């Protein structure tokens, strides 16, 4: 039986630790098959994947294929599999949920209201996430604090009340320039949309390039106010919450 995890002490220690050290601790504490890494093939996700591949510690890896991704995202996914030979599980929206969502509202309902947008994110992202995380003790994600206001406080390791597992963000204190220095120095594949002004990459109808001086995540759901800009997958990070109700009226 392992000792309980003292999160404040561990987080204080991790603040000055490298991503590799954080990952080493994770794989010493938890068996690799109980750790799951979620990626949407963003720049930081690719950097973290390269660190994992270099260490020879490959957890379960999954992505959520919302059905509305850019072709460039499929290309970098394909290149990742071919270059590194990693198995990437793909989770898609449930067809019945999708029919309920689209019947009567049409495929581009997200532009009409925040509520419709959240409904679409719930069906295409949150519900597949629930299936993907099942049976894991640790959820690893490549979130960074400087990605926007909603991520400013994310801890490196935290207990996730909603999904009842630990969430580890080894790159939480990396800056954008650290990510790109890592990618360039290690010849890591990346989504070609970054070369066309995109700063973060989500679904095609909800992501656009960012203009000089705009925030990193300002290209996501650009028609909404800043505080609404999360899809529901990482909404809990850095906040104290009680177990969240996981269902939602589609």
The catalytic residue positions are: 231
For residue 79 the two structure tokens come to 């290149």
Least Å distance, CB 101 to ligand SF4, is 9
Q: How far apart are CA 100 and CA 91, in angstroms?
A: 18
**What binding mask, one character per residue, do residues 176-215 give for ligand SF4 by CB under 6 A, x or -?**
--------------------------xx-xx---------
| Residue 105 touching ligand SF4 (CB under 6 A) | no
Q: Any contact of residue 121 with ligand SF4 (CB under 6 A)?
A: yes
CA distances in angstroms from 141 to 1, 58, 82, 116, 210, listed in the order given: 26, 14, 22, 26, 23
Strand 157-160 with 165-168, pairing: antiparallel
By beta-carbon proximity to ligand SF4, the closer residue of 6 and 115 is: 115
- By 3-state DSSP, what share of the chain in percent is helix, strand and coil, each rounded to 5? 45, 10, 45
From 27-35, 113-121, 139-147, 208-216, span contacting ligand SF4 (CB under 6 A):
113-121
Part in contact with ligand SF4 (CB under 6 A); list of ranges 46-54, 120-128, 167-175, 191-199:
120-128
Binding-site size for ligand SF4 (CB under 6 A) equals 13
**Judging by DSSP bridges, how do beta strands 89-91 and 157-160 pair with one another?**
unpaired
Query: E strands of the chain, at which residues?
Result: 35-38, 60-64, 89-91, 138-140, 157-160, 165-168
- How far apart are the C-alpha atoms of 50 and 27, rounded to whole Å? 16
On whether the CB atoms of residues 59 and 91 are closer than 8 A, the answer is: no
Q: Which of 68, 100, 105, 208 is close enough to bind ligand SF4 by CB under 6 A?
A: 68
Residue number with CB closer to ligand SF4 (63 or 66): 66
Q: Which of 26, 39, 63, 66 is the binder for ligand SF4 (CB under 6 A)?
A: 66
Smallest separation (angstroms) from ligand SF4 to the CB of 81: 22
Secondary element (H or E) of residue 89: strand 89-91
Q: What 3-state DSSP class applies to 85?
A: coil
For the record, the structure tokens of 5 come out as 């995890």
List 168, 179, 183, 231, residue binding ligand SF4 (CB under 6 A): 231
Cα distance between residue 229 and residue 120, in whole Å: 14
Candidate ranges 3-11, 49-57, 118-126, 157-165; the one touching ligand SF4 (CB under 6 A): 118-126
Site for ligand SF4 in 123-162 (CB under 6 A): 124-125
Residues lying near ligand SF4 in the complex (CB under 6 A) are found at 66, 68, 110, 117, 120-121, 124-125, 202-203, 205-206, 231
């Amino acid at each position: 039986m392992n000792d309980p995890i003292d999160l404040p002490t561990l987080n204080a220690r991790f603040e000055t630790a490298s991503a590799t050290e954080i990952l080493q601790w994770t794989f010493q504490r938890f068996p690799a098959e109980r750790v799951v890494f979620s990626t949407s093939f963003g720049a930081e996700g690719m950097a973290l994947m390269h660190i994992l591949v270099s260490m020879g510690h490959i957890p379960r890896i999954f992505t959520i294929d919302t059905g509305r991704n850019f072709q460039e995202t499929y290309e970098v996914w394909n290149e990742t599999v071919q270059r590194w030979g990693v198995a990437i599980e793909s989770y898609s929206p449930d067809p019945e949920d999708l029919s309920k969502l689209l019947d009567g509202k049409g495929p581009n309902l997200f532009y009409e209201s925040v509520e419709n947008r959240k409904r679409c994110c719930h069906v295409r992202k949150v519900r597949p996430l629930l299936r993907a995380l099942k049976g894991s003790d640790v959820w690893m994600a490549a979130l960074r604090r400087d990605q926007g206001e909603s991520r400013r406080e994310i801890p490196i390791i935290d207990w996730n009340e909603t999904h009842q597992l630990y969430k580890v963000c080894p790159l939480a204190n990396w800056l954008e320039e650290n990510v790109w220095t890592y990618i360039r120095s290690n010849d890591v594949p990346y989504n070609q949309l970054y070369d066309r002004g995109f700063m973060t990459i989500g679904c095609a109808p909800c992501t656009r390039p960012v203009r000089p001086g705009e925030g990193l995540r300002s290209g996501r759901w650009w028609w909404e106010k800043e505080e609404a800009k999360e899809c529901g997958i990482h909404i809990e990070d850095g906040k104290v919450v009680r177990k969240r109700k996981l269902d939602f009226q589609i």
